[in-house]
Amino acid sequence: MPLGIDHASYEYPALSIYGKNWSLNTDSSWRLVKGGVVFLGVSETQGPEALTFLEGESIIGVRPQSELVRGDPAFELTGGMWLEIFSDQGVDPWVFSLPQIVFVGSPYDPEQVG
């Protein structure tokens, strides 16, 4: 970390964010939070260009999105924002690819979220 964001787009149902040698893709629900308030959510986003303001920002941290469902990530972004993912399907709800490892969401599997 940090992971620079070169591209960010949303075209229902797919959120795609990537940079040099990494990517994050999800078909699940998501939201952007800033200052403890929802800044933008999946149901308010229109068109693939709606997230281009994230280009040039960076992912600077990651933690479990919730204590209740520890298998979903919350990504800390520069600019005081957080991107939270909420799995709403059992098969590959999100994929986070790094050069040496790929993380695939499995929040429906108790063995994977401990």
Among left, alpha and beta (phi > 0; psi -120 to 50; other), residue 21 is left
Quick one: pLDDT at residue 97? 96
Model confidence over 44-96: pLDDT tens digits? 777 667 899 999 999 999 999 988 878 899 999 999 999 999 988 777 789 99
Rounded to whole angstroms, the Cα distance separating 46 from 48 reads: 7
